[in-house]
Structure 1
Amino acid sequence: MTTPGLHERVLSRLGPAIVAGEPAPGEVLRLEQLEARYGVSRTVVREVVKVLESMRVVTSRRRVGVTVLPRTEWNIFDPRMIRWRLAGADRMEQLSSLSQLRTAVEPVAAALAARNATPEHCGRLTAAVIGMSVSARRGDLEEYLRHDIEFHHAVLEGSGNEMFAGLTQVVAEVLAGRTHHHLMPARPEPEALRLHAEVSDAIQGGDPARAEKAMRAIVQEAIEAMEAMAAEPGEGPSRPPERRRSGGKPRAGDVPRPHVTRRR
């Protein structure tokens, strides 16, 4: 395995372990201990420590070692940190916190995008909605996820607010976590697809109020769907598509086709 591959392998084991509390904050790790534990060279260990330092997870001092920092010091917006925490025991707590962040940011971003989005952003939104609709019909959750991430990326970037655009990877990790940790239905809800199409239409039509309202509904629908699935042990992507929260059966016509309004 190459050095970059070893580095990622060790990071993917040590990082989640620290996030889970083993080793605990304040505990000191020795480089030689990490070398022996993971069977890698000192160079690989140092690369891993540098990444963890950049995330404010640990601090390193000569003759002291690598000290695990308290959670209050961590860069909680780092995509790796989000991924590790979503893989841990406090997954739902983390999803709840991130969903609250989305509720505060994305509706406002959608309203701003209705004022500031360029034709390029509008084209990306249309393509993403079409891609989501097609992949939903196929039941291809990974492809659906790819288009969903692109949709939200276009909204955040189209807002014209660089701080909102900087949260793109945070939102992407939330969406990916929902899919990869079995908190998505086997086929995405028609209502979720309809709302995405409505946001796209409102942004392209220059309607900030409608864009904000529809995006707020998207986030709320996601929260309710995650809570419902988390409350059903054993449920996940393999859940039969006819078992829907609304109690209805899916129909081919349930998936909306995006309506494109030309910006004036």
Structure 2
Amino acid sequence: MNRPPRGLHGQTVEILGERIIRGTYPPGSALYPERIEAELGVSKTVVREALRVLAAKGLVESRQKRGTYVRPRSDWSLLDGDLLRWQGRSVPHEGFLDNLAEVRSIVEPAAARLAARRRDDDDLARLAGALDRMAAAGADADALVEADLLFHRALLAATHNELLSRMEVVIEAGLRVRDRIVHGAESWADPLPAHRAVLEAVRAQDPGAAAEAVATLLTQATDDLHDLVPTTHEGDPG
């Protein structure tokens, strides 16, 4: 799982990156290193290195005479693990949730097909363990989110395809945003039956049923989210 970096340098990257994602620093706006140094109480070197990291992610650019400014969203490395994580913490950009849902609908049913063909006993144990944690989570939204993430990581791992496994950064971003909204509501649909159907199809080595079970799970997840997003975002700042 992609985790935030530590230390002053890492914290500065986190603060500036999240501000750009949230729109505090909108595309085209200038960043003034000396102001950042004073506000955050960090050195010129820390700010310079943080801006270099953000530049590598496509978020900012520095030019002589123009200074440092935020690049257009179309230039951002949107599949970068940090960018996905930062977007997952804020009110999603218009279309972000739908884009993630589309990616998941392409990747996860295909992954389930492969998992049904290739899974071994360890894979089944990890999937079952994630379901057990989901059941034990009860009304604990944070525990439920972590169990959900564990299940979907285990499903990708069961494909025994190292490139598909790396898609967890995208899947995790989508899950964290979706689960933060859905499980932040007063009540939510029981996630166990849909996930259990995926496990049983994978266990039975039935690729078609596994893909169908995941597609059903994703449809349910999208429907739940669309029911909640308008009221969840009502009153949020632009």
Q: Percent sequence identity over matched residues?
A: 31
Instruction: Give the SS at the match of 1:209.
Output: helix
Instruction: Give the SS at the match of 1:66.
Output: strand
Distance 1:62 1:232 in 2: 45
**Which protein is richer in helix relative to its size?**
2
Distance 1:89 1:132 in 2: 26
Superposed, 1:42-121 pairs within 5 Å as 42-60=44-62, 65-91=67-93, 93-121=95-123
Q: Per-residue displacement from partner, 1:72-127 (whole Å, max 9, x unpaired)? A: 22110123212333444544621111111101110110011101122211110011
Structure 1: which 5+ residue stretches go unaligned?
236-264
CA RMSD across the alignment? 2.6
Distance 2:153 2:117 in 1: 16
Give the drift of 1:18.
1.8
Q: Tell whether the 8 Å contact from 1:129 to 1:151 is kept in structure 2 after alignment.
A: yes
Distance 1:121 1:217 in 2: 21
Larger mean Cα displacement after TM superposition, 60-69 or 16-25: 60-69
Q: Tell whether the 8 Å contact from 2:182 to 2:188 is kept in structure 1 after alignment.
A: no
In the TM superposition, structure 1's runs of 4+ consecutive aligned residues that sit over 6 Å from their partners are none
Identify if the C-alpha distance between structure 1 residues 194 and 230 changes in structure 2 by more than 3 Å, giving closer, same or farther. Answer: same
Instruction: Give the SS at the match of 2:116.
Output: helix
Confirm whether residue 161 of structure 1 aligns to residue 161 of structure 2. Answer: yes
TM-score by length of 1: 0.76
TM-score by length of 2: 0.84
Distance 1:17 1:233 in 2: 21
Distance 2:207 2:102 in 1: 21
Larger mean Cα displacement after TM superposition, 72-81 or 103-112: 72-81
Distance 1:30 1:63 in 2: 13
Distance 1:139 1:88 in 2: 23
Q: Which protein is bigger by CA-based radius of gyration?
A: 1
Give the structure 2 partner of residue 227 of structure 1: 226
Give the drift of 1:6.
3.0
Larger mean Cα displacement after TM superposition, 223-232 or 43-52: 43-52
Q: How many pairs are equivalent?
A: 229
Q: Tell whether the 8 Å contact from 2:88 to 2:176 is kept in structure 1 after alignment.
A: no
